[in-house]
Homo-oligomer: A and B are copies of this chain.
């Protein structure tokens, strides 16, 4: 294990705790314990607690405008939507602190709420463009409303992500492999030209 910088240790501890207890429930004392660092050290590295979150948000902001940018259009609707679901899921997992704080505590962090809004916007347009292309190719039906379908698909992925985080302890969450092979597959099959 590579030696972690103090900054990194603090951010890792903060992230761990924020997932479990939320931002408000994450105290600087607990961050210090978890990071194996003195509490005062935290404030030598970060002006205040909020600044730790802001650093994490900045990482997210660096990524969000590029997500799905290198998406590979396969020509098959099922494959494509499964890829999109994967990209969405990986992005959310990678930025789960921002995602969860945004969903849970955006009333405290308008900035996080605003930042998070970019996600559905980007994915809806990604999916919608894909649908339009596939309609032209004759892969999917011409008579569908691409706006509604794209919104539905993103809502489904969003719902699944929130559901997974909220209920992961309860074994109710759908494993990603099943979500793709069953749920996404079922959704995609309906769009296919027949």
Contacts and interface: CB of A to CB of B under 8 A. Distances in A.
A151 interface: yes
Interface residues of A, number: 45
Q: Is the interface of A mostly helix, strand, loop or mixed?
A: helix
Contact of A24 (B25, B182, B191): B25
B21 A107 contact: yes
Nearest to A147: B182
Nearest to A174: B151
Give this chain's copy count: 2
Interface string A103-132: 111111000011011001000000000000
A68 interface: no
A139 to B, nearest CB: 16
A186 B145 contact: yes
A174 B152 CA distance: 11
Contacts of A105: 22, 104
Contacts of A191: 190
Nearest to A172: B117
A20 B107 CA distance: 7
Contacts of A20: 107
Contact of A166 (B106, B152, B183, B190): B106
Interface stretch (A4-12, A41-49, A90-98, A153-161): A153-161
Interface string A174-194: 100000001101110011000
Given A103-B162, A113-B167, 19 more contacts: A20-B107, A22-B24, A22-B105, A22-B107, A24-B24, A24-B25, A103-B166, A104-B105, A113-B166, A114-B170, A117-B170, A117-B172, A144-B186, A151-B174, A151-B183, A155-B163, A159-B159, A159-B160, A162-B162
Interface of A: 20-22, 24-25, 102-108, 113-114, 116-117, 120, 144-145, 147-149, 151-152, 155-160, 162-163, 166-167, 169-170, 172, 174, 182-183, 185-187, 190-191
